[in-house]
A and B are shown apart, each in its own frame.
Chain A
Amino acid sequence: MHKVLIANRGEIALRIIKTCQRLGIKTVAVYSEADAEMPFVKEADEAFLLGPAQVQQSYLKADDIIDIAIREGVDAIHPGYGLLSENAEFVRKIQQAGMVFIGPDADTIDKMGDKIGSRVTMQAAGVPVVPGTDEGVASLEEAVQAAADIGYPVMLKASAGGGGIGMVRCENEQALSQHFQSIKTRAKAYFGDDVVFLEKFIANARHIEVQIFGDHQGNVVHLFERNCSVQRRNQKVIEESPSPHLPEEARQRLLQAAVDAAKAVDYKNAGTVEFIVDEDNKIYFLEMNTRLQVEHPVTELVMGYDLVNWQLEVAKGNELPVKNQEEIQSTGHAIEFRVYAEDPVTFMPSPGTIATLDWGDTAGVRIDAGYVEGDKVTPFYDPLIAKVIVHAKTRNEAIQHSQTFLTQVNIAGLKTNIPLFNKFLKSEEFQTGDYSTAVLPAWLDIQKEEK
């Protein structure tokens, strides 16, 4: 593999370039007009303009990206996360053009991209799923009947949904009636598919996911778990590994279920199996993400592996660098903070120019940033400025180091959620580690009441 095209932008494009550079692999960036001056464009060996800022006219133009790859003699395409990363048709076109897709098979993506289909596949493989409907609910009447059978509260979800979009919690029939059509509309608008289904809402649950890896020789391993329960608007903001307050017996069940899930779909390359873990440590399959995750550095820091390197090795047809599960050990504790350009209280996006970007003393801290000082965060893409990942021997040390580090960060010119992290890190809820997906909204409510 001599040349890789990265069909993505920002921090993940830079992250992939970094590993390619280390391995002596040339990189090709593609970019929109809004990103012409971004660091990932400058850092790649070659860069080509796709079109205007809107993703439909640039980063989602699969045929244009493939044409550039063919023209420039690219061997493989890395999709990053989001955008075309879970688009099976894109994968098929890359392979038809004689290039390698750095990710799983198109058929696996198809199976796991459909939440209803993946529920059925996992049930057949013996992996526990959240109680819910195994078919789409076509009408409100059907939804009301199904919800009555499941029991409120329920989650109404788009089968093709992802990234926290296209889902809503319904406490009762009135709420289900209110949201049914809007979720269908959103599903159609965002994902081109208006099929929706219902799942039981598991109260006080944790969102824990397992990094898995498979190769073309049939080897599948897990690289332990990440707790992703600190969320706002159903989107993650802090992730950590290992998951605190998870009994070892439950952890082993979770890891085995993830490996079973991966084997059930003959999984190749990097993937993540997401679970809901209830108060009694019962585990339920939620979905499988068939790509590298935003939070993969948490795993990289506790494992000591370069997961992009693993992706490249598997894409080349090589066996996993470590395929014996017993050899794979997790060391210390890592926490990732997603630094977003947004209001720390309302979470409203805050596009603008980064007038100052001073991280301060970065000793012992990994920063995966997509921007440098002077760059513009435009309203066209998600508001992620950077990921800050802290690794220490223990969770307490990682929290202390995070507190020291984050209070000295100086970002000016737009709002960020760093003030939120600085307050939340001190909270008893986070410090104890015994928290569910309700932790951040509940803590914010308490803050409002105290004002």
Chain B
Amino acid sequence: MTQLKATMAGTVFTVNVAVGEEVAAGQVVLVLESMKMEIPIEAESAGKVTAINVEVGDFVNEEDVLVTIEA
């Protein structure tokens, strides 16, 4: 199981995957907007999305768990 965390505080700009979806390593699963910059959050390894903890527009803090992926 891999937990993708926010690399810095920001607002969830897009959520590009759904629960149950298979993702590839390096795929951008979510984009944060912080300090007027878009920050892509990529899957570290291939697997299935089992949980998405945020919605577009949510503010998240650094280290918050955004998405869970199981191999």
Contacts and interface: CB of A to CB of B under 8 A. Distances in A.
A382 B59 contact: no
A70 to B, nearest CB: 31
B14 interface: yes
B37 interface: yes
A347 B10 CA distance: 16
B60 to A, nearest CB: 10
A379 B32 CA distance: 11
A341 B34 CA distance: 12
Contacts of A342: 35
Given A54-B59, A185-B14, A348 B37 contact: yes
B8 A379 contact: yes
B36 A382 contact: yes
A381 interface: yes
A379 B35 contact: yes
A170 to B, nearest CB: 18
Contacts of A347: 37
Overall SS of chain B's interface? strand
Given A54-B59, A381-B35, A382-B35, A349 B8 contact: yes
Interface of A is mostly: loop
A379 B10 contact: yes
Interface residues on A, range: 10 to 19
B9 A351 contact: yes
A383 interface: yes
Contacts of B36: 163, 165, 381-383
A349 B14 CA distance: 19
Contact of B8 (A189, A351, A381): A351
Contacts of B10: 379
A222 to B, nearest CB: 29
Contacts of A189: 13
Given A351-B34, A382-B35, A383-B35, 7 more contacts: A189-B13, A233-B37, A348-B8, A349-B8, A349-B39, A380-B35, A382-B36
3 closest Cβ pairs, A-B complex: A349-B35, A379-B9, A383-B35
28 contacts: A54-B11, A163-B36, A165-B36, A185-B14, A189-B13, A233-B37, A341-B35, A342-B35, A347-B37, A348-B8, A348-B37, A348-B39, A349-B34, A349-B35, A349-B37, A349-B39, A351-B8, A351-B34, A351-B35, A378-B9, A379-B9, A379-B34, A379-B35, A380-B35, A382-B36, A383-B35, A383-B36, A383-B37
